A and B are shown apart, each in its own frame.
Chain A
């Protein structure tokens, strides 16, 4: 439970600064510091248990099925990092109180800072790797917010974006790695994973997951070649640089490598990747740090270099090196955080961080100067300070490795060179800032800061000295327990003594110090050399790269999505050809083995007519009226095909729909051009013909493959139950109104919706009304031919009678609501054609929207009625009655449902056609919107 509180207290603290925004700055800072201070005390209360080698755990089941728990774990390593996070965090809160000016929003800053602190604690305390990853991402986000704290500065925004991009991308890699680990081990529990080194190392995914894992760590810890985001993150306020970008967040990657050290480190791949990356980072950072004129820039590159040093130690693969890595984490945190804060003080009290302007500050701020000198000396590895101890142990370790085989001697050499540069830039930091003449062009007169602002630096510098002088007493137990956690128990013998006798590492230190002095004294030449190299601005290059990627994405997108529907169709159909065509390449799948029916003369003729008329439609598709006539022949042939192949219902439906469709298209042609202009280029036509041909071949082949296969159908059920269960012998109709009645209900609803949509589309249409046909001939003045009028009128009762007959017989013989509805529609449309809208409207004033609504309602009520009898929706009922004269009569609830279908079809068809037809009459009635 204590563990949970260590994490929860800073979490509660996130909102505290905002609540106290109205109070004085000191009160706000004090209250903000309260929760972390309590958490710090709680942490200290666990000291003895942790130092005794215990691992404290806390677990709360959250989503056990997914392996997600709120699981916390405190061992030596987590304790060390929590100590750094909370301890330095408290110092930073104090420091920021004085650092931030009145214009900066202090509550906002503290909120972000606490947010970060919580996230960082979450990383080190997590015992579930997914939970760990969540906190990992939160640190990236809070780092983004903190870097861009001064959002009015362009470099702050750009630096923040870059840091987020790099660490965010690394975070995704890490997630992939953690998921892979979870899959391999079968658990996301850290305890389980740490104990599963054998499984992980032996698994074939190990190289992939290791690279992904290291990408996450390297990006976060600013390892070469991802180091460039860190110097640009220095646009953040200095407390942030001191806290996130030197002491804690950039060490998250190192923490993770140390955390997973027992599980992942035992391979050559780990050793090569981690040690070489660390070595490169160490050198690049140390070299570049010397040339930075910005105080924080120098410290940033120095941080990169030291992070590289720790990485190199972790990559050496020896247990002792891992111990040294932990030791250096402690030391680096103390001296680098104090140097950053001192740099902030100098910036704050002089108004500049440029080392070309800052000179001779010793006369103005001697106390700060002393502090910087001690911390920088520790950074350079001068004896009596903590930096010296770990650096000496590091140099000793470089001598005791065989990473590069015969070339292993290179590593101590390169390490010494890095140490030389490290001395040189530390010297530059001291000499350029505090001596070296007088300050130049400063806007303020430098002076010492308020004592409380200096206090955090003092505390850390004292720590540097104490650890340097009495390492065993100061951090011995801490180091022992943390190293035990990293190595999984066994800690090798090591000596934290100041004096190890005259040996090679001591000699290397001497070389480093004297070499550093030498380089610093000849720095002018080195600077000239460095200036003569072509400069590379990481920020601009990065943004350029991002812009280039964006541009190519845009090109691709514009190519893909250029607004042409025809183009999309081509893509879509090509996909159809590829996806549906590939399985057909195996020709043997085509023939199914079912015996084919013989071809008779009628069928052959019908097929020939169908093909010819389809071809004619395509050939004459620019002459639209001709094409329309041709396509109606196709439709006719299709309905004949349905008749031939035992589908009388389909044939009837197709025939009546054909009539309605042709009338509709004819009407439509009144408003559309009668000819299609020829605009397609020949290449386009060839492309379309080839694509159409391919689609046709693929679909035809599939049809053939389907038809020639033997099959069993679920229809036997329908055939067996149509009479007994549905009360009808026309199985197709029984399926429609009974077995699959719910489908039909949905379908007539769609029909009604389409009709209403059309009705709406045609209201308030800005009419494009031609006065002549496409060839310039005026429309005929004889609007309603007499012959047609006479015949249609006498045909109407006949047609209506036929539709009633078709309707009623539908349950037992071909027919039914759909077909009857279409026949009625055709009969009524004929009246419209023969007499005009006004004539019909004066005799039959029906609003078709209502007809649709009534039809749907009847169908719905029929369905719902079965609830009254305790049956599910649309259960049908039927019975037989014997009536005089009429004889045997069947009554079925399905008939009522079919009536609904009938009315909806009539309403929809007539609504569509009469709405359109109304547009064509010259004396168009004033259109009233009735919906």
Chain B
């Protein structure tokens, strides 16, 4: 099971990184979302995997590690705030600059970058 989860984490990371390397803001936002899934799973898994062991006292014999869970819980919420901020920033950038490229300007056809202001 651990191998499978490690593969999933690695794959999610790779997908997230690939999307983050795109030139437009929206794929980057999605890439970041994907990467935060991977990071959250990674942090969570540092408490090791545990079936049927929710960290609620009296409900099982062998509790899962509650500390990574607490950390990841806040990470999920903050991750949402960060994604939201990024997306709104992208919208604002598009409104102000007239394009949705991460550099705020479109790459030129001959490879050079030029101003493409609004």
Complexed CA–CA distance, A873 and B25 (Å): 42
Q: Which of A645, A699, A723, A743 contacts B13 (CB 8 A)?
A: A699
CA distance A849 to B42 in the complex (A): 34
Residue pair A715, B13 in contact (C-beta under 8 Å):
no
Q: Determine the residue in chain A with the shortest Cβ distance to B60.
A: A646
The answer to whether B6 touches A704, judged by C-beta atoms less than 8 angstroms apart, is yes
CA gap between A708 and B48 in the complex, in Å: 8
CA distance A765 to B111 in the complex (A): 31
Q: Contact between B5 and A641 (Cβ–Cβ < 8 Å)? A: yes
CB of A735 within 8 A of CB of B10, answer no
Given A617-B19, A631-B33, A731-B66: A696 touches B54 (CB 8 Å cut-off): no
B30–A631 CB distance below 8 A: yes
A570 and B21 within 8 A (CB): yes
CA distance A650 to B47 in the complex (A): 13
**Chain A proximity mask over B1-45: 1 for CB below 8 Å, otherwise 0:** 111111111111111011111111111011001100110111011
The distance from the CB of B31 to the nearest CB of chain A, in whole angstroms, is: 8
Chain B residues with CB below 8 A from A730, complex form? 55-57
Number of residues of chain A lying within 8 A (CB) of chain B: 112
Q: Which residue of A lies closest to B21 (CB)?
A: A688
Residues in chain A near residue B70, CB distance under 8 A: 732, 735-736, 740
Is A776 an interface residue, CB under 8 A from the partner?
no
A722 CB-CB contact with B under 8 Å: yes
A window 694-719: CB within 8 A of B:
695-697, 699-704, 706-708, 711, 713-715, 718-719
A565 to B104, CA, bound (A): 10
Chain B: CB-nearest residue to A751: B81
Minimal beta-carbon separation of B118 from chain A (angstroms): 7
Q: What A residues does B41 contact at CB under 8 A? A: 638, 641, 703
Shortest CB-to-CB span from A273 to chain B, Å, is 52
Chain A nearest CB, measured from B45 CB (Å): 5
Q: In chain B between 49 and 83, which residues have their CB closer than 8 angstroms to a CB of chain A?
A: 49-60, 63-67, 69-70, 72-74, 76-83
- Asked if A926 CB lies within 8 Å of chain B CBs, one says no
User: Does the CB pair B56–A653 fall under 8 Å?
Assistant: no
A258 CB, nearest partner CB in chain B, Å: 60
Contact in complex: B34, A731 (CB < 8 Å)? no
Q: Is A566 an interface residue (CB 8 A)?
A: yes
One of A139-147, A755-763, A889-897 at the interface: A755-763
Q: Which of A634, A703, A735, A912 contacts B5 (CB 8 A)?
A: A703
Interface centre among B3, B26, B92 (most CB of A within 10 A): B26
Residues B13 and A696 in contact, CB atoms below 8 Å apart: yes
- What is the minimal beta-carbon distance from B103 to any residue of chain A, in angstroms? 6
B74 touches A634 (CB 8 A): no
**Pairwise interchain contact B51-A706, C-beta atoms closer than 8 A:** no
- CB of B95 within 8 A of CB of A707, answer no
Task: Please report the C-alpha to C-alpha distance between residue A614 and residue B33 in the assembled complex, in whole angstroms.
Answer: 11
Are A695 and B22 interface neighbours, CB within 8 A?
Answer: no
Q: Tell yes or no: A610 within 8 A of B by CB.
A: yes
Contact with B44, one of A596, A645, A731 (Cβ below 8 angstroms): A645
- Alpha-carbon distance between A627 and B55 when the two chains are bound, in angstroms: 35
Q: In whole Å, how far is B56's beta carbon from the nearest beta carbon of chain A?
A: 5
Contact partner of B88 among A649, A740, A912, CB < 8 A? A912
Q: List 24 A-B contacts (CB under 8 A).
A: A598-B1, A611-B8, A615-B11, A617-B15, A657-B79, A672-B26, A672-B91, A672-B94, A673-B26, A673-B100, A676-B24, A691-B17, A692-B14, A696-B10, A697-B14, A699-B42, A701-B10, A707-B49, A719-B63, A732-B55, A736-B74, A757-B85, A758-B84, A813-B56
